[in-house]
Amino acid sequence: MPARHRPQVTADVVRAHLGPDQVAVADVLAFGVTPGQLRAAVAAGTLARPRRGFLTVGTVGTVPGTGRPARTDPWAGDSLAPEIRRAHIRDARAALLDLGDDSVVSHASTALLQGLPFPLPQDAPTAVWVTAPRHGRIVAGTHRRLGLVPEEDRTEVEGGLCSGIARTALDLARRRRLPPSLVVLDAAAARVGRDALWRAADRMTWKRDLRALHTALAVTDPSSESPLESSSRGVMVLAGIGAHELQAWVHGSDGLPDRVDFLWRDKRVIGEADGWVKYRDIDDVRAEKRREDALRQAGFIVVRWTWDELRRHPERVMARLRQAINA
């Protein structure tokens, strides 16, 4: 049986040659492990992606309530630089000391501290976000939101009291359109499970915008692996394009299994949300071309799109998908 079918073998190769610590994907590929084998190992949980471009060996646990392998910090590459994070931690601690009265760091600040992606790039915090149960004095360099964060929705990050992952995702998804909402909700669900998000929503004290938030929670999927995939799925829902499988396995003309971003199985249509980050050099481009050729030769229609295309012309992407699905 080819190694591509055996995720534990791939993990054993990484451990034997590179050790159990965090290693660069480029170093793993240099030992002859293929990108397809890495994808299979990550899907099985024998390898994990702590951040973009790096891998660690070992099962990463399961998503609560599903039994499926969980991905720790699957999108941490979308966080800001480490020095910015450290500076924000210092500012957050100072803000809590100044504010007191049961204040907690929240919203985009907690997303930064805990490695959640921002719904939109411009959401990266320039000041510390804090939620407090009452109005108080203004503290320079803070955005203050009036509200109560229940004990169940609090956690401590490097000495500072913060809103938990589920509550943070809900705060960021509130009053957002569906595509950016799913960026953070999917990532949070991969960390704590969908049930935790629903429970946190039930504890919310504000009532406005709950219908839109519940709509987003209903289509949240922890198996989404990137902000582009999540945003793409949100655009599909708004366009009325559904009934697809996410992170589905198919067989190309070479007989080997491959995992694709979106699949309409009965229509034999594959959707690939292409962030380009996986193409480190021309060899990666050639490998992806061979992969797509094998899928097409097996009778699949492959529709690709990029971040820029989805952002600028989502209607064109949806039109191509509809054409392929209805062909």
- The 10s digit of each residue's pLDDT in 74-119 is 333 344 556 777 788 888 888 888 777 688 999 999 998 888 988 9
Q: Which helix (H) or strand (E) holds 72?
A: none
HSE-CB at 202 with a 13 A cutoff on CA atoms is: 7
Residues 52 and 102 in one domain: no
Q: Mean pLDDT, the chain, as a whole number?
A: 80
- Residue 55, token pair as written in the block: 């891998």
DSSP state of 268: T
Together in a domain, 190 and 109: yes
> Does residue 193 share a domain with residue 93?
yes
pLDDT value of position 85: 76
Query: Does any domain span residue 222?
Result: no
Does 228 reside within a domain?
Answer: no
At 43 the three-state DSSP class reads helix
List the single range of 113-122, 197-206, 276-285 with lowest mean pLDDT: 276-285
pLDDT band at 190; cut points 50, 70, 90: very high
Helix (H, G, I), strand (E, B) or coil at 282: helix
User: Per the domain annotation, does 74 fall within a domain?
Assistant: no
Model confidence at 147, pLDDT cuts 50, 70, 90, reads confident
pLDDT, tens digit, 9 for 90 and up, residues 208-252:
778 889 999 999 999 998 889 999 999 999 999 987 899 999 998
Same domain assignment for residues 114 and 196: yes
| 263, 302 contact by CB (below 8 A) | no
pLDDT of residue 98: 78
87 and 165 assigned to the same domain: yes
Of 121-130, 175-184, 226-235, 300-309, which gets the smallest average pLDDT?
Answer: 121-130
Q: Which residues contact 10 (CB under 8 A, 6 or more apart)?
A: 3, 33, 37, 38, 40, 41, 46, 47
Judge if 92 and 177 occupy the same domain: yes
Is 21 a domain residue?
yes
The domain total for the chain is 3
Structural domain for 28, as ranges: 3-60
pLDDT number for residue 67: 38
Starting from the edge strand earliest in sequence, which strands make up the sheet with 154-157, in order? 142-146, 128-132, 104-105, 160-163, 154-157
Q: Is the distance from CB of 132 to CB of 161 less than 8 angstroms?
A: no
Helix (H) or strand (E) holding 45: none
Q: Is residue 65 part of a domain?
A: no
Q: What is the pTM of this model?
A: 0.73
pLDDT digits (tens, 9 = 90+) for 300-315: 999 999 888 998 899 9
210-218 and 194-202 helices cross at what angle (nearest 10)?
Answer: 170
